Amino acid sequence: MNRRKKIYEGKAKILYEGPEPGTLIQYFKDDATAFNAQKKAVLEGKGVLNNRISEYVMTRLNGIGVQNHFIKRLNLREQLIREVEIIPLEVVCRNIVAGSMAERFGLPEGQPLPRSIIEFYYKDDKLGDPLVTEEHITAFNWANTQEIDDILAMTLRVNDYLSGMFGAVGITLVDFKIEYGRLWEGDFARVILADEISPDSCRLWDATTNEKLDKDRFRRDMGGVIESYTEVARRLGIMKDMPRVIEGGVA
C-alpha cells in the first residue's frame, strides 16, 4: 500500500522518509496503547484528530518562537516534519496532581501544585520509562547541561502558553509529555520540540466539570475517547477542517 521507506514505527505513529533530505513524514495511526502497550485498541479517527490537533498546537507554539519539527500537514493522517536526533527523554510538566504522580506520592488526583513541576523519564519501553534526574541525564550522555537548561526553559514556556490557550476554551491543562530533538546545523545542534502534542500526550479536563477529555478515558475504560478528542478539536475551533470525522466516517 505504502511504497515509501519506513524509518521507524512506534505505538501511535509511523515515520517515513520525507521528500527532501532532513525531512520525514509523520503518520498518525488509530492505534491506542497504555500501560507500556499491555492495553491496546484501535480507535477509529484518533489519528486524524491527533494529526490536526498537533498541527494546530505546534503552529501556535511556532508563532511564539518555540521552535519545533512541524513543517506542514500533508493530509488527514500525515504531516511533514524536520528530521531531528531524538533526545531519549520524556519531559513531563505538571500543574495538577494526576496519574503516576498521584500514585507515587499517595496524593489525591486534582490537587493543584504550588508551582509547575518538570520531570524527566528515560525513554525505554523495556525499562518502563524510569524517572531520572539531571545527573543521570548528563552521566549517561543523553543530553548536556546546556541542553537540559534549554529544555527546562522551553517546557515552561510551552506550559504557560498552552495553559492559557486551553484555558481560553474552558480546558484545564493538568499535565503533558513532550519530547525534544537535536537539529544539526554544521557542528552545532539546536534543541527543538518534536513528536506530538495531542490528547494522547496531555491531560485535559473540562474547566467547569473536570470531565476528562484525554487518553485517560482509554486508560481507565471510561469510553467516549473519540468524542472527547473531537470536543477538544471543536473547542480549539478546528473541527471545521475535518468534516468526515464529525460524521464518524473513516478518514
Interface map 53-92 toward ligand UDP (x if CB under 6 A): -------------------------------------x-x
Q: Which three cell numbers stand for residue 144?
A: 548536556
> Residue 105 Cβ, how far from ligand UDP at the closest point, in Å?
11
Minimal distance, residue 202 CB to ligand UDP, in Å:
5
We find the least distance from the C-beta atom of residue 5 to ligand UDP, in angstroms, to be 26
Angstrom distance (rounded) from CA 62 to CA 119: 23
CB of 215 to ligand UDP, least distance (A): 5
Task: Rule CB under 6 A: say whether 213 interacts with ligand UDP.
Answer: no
Neighbours of 51 (CB within 10 A): 25
Q: Is 27 in the site for ligand UDP (CB under 6 A)?
A: no
Sign (positive/negative) of CA torsion 167, 171, 174, 175? negative
Asked if 214 contacts 203 with a C-beta cutoff of 8 angstroms, the reply is: yes
Sign of CA dihedral 26, 30, 35, 39: negative
Asked if 132 interacts with ligand UDP (CB under 6 A), we say: no
What's the rounded Cα separation, in Å, for the pair 233 and 237? 6
Residue nearest to ligand UDP (CB): 99
DSSP string, 130-162: -EE-HHHHHHTTSS-HHHHHHHHHHHHHHHHHH
Residue 249 CB, nearest approach to ligand UDP (Å): 27
Residues that bind ligand UDP (CB under 6 A): 90, 92, 98-101, 129, 175-177, 201-203, 215
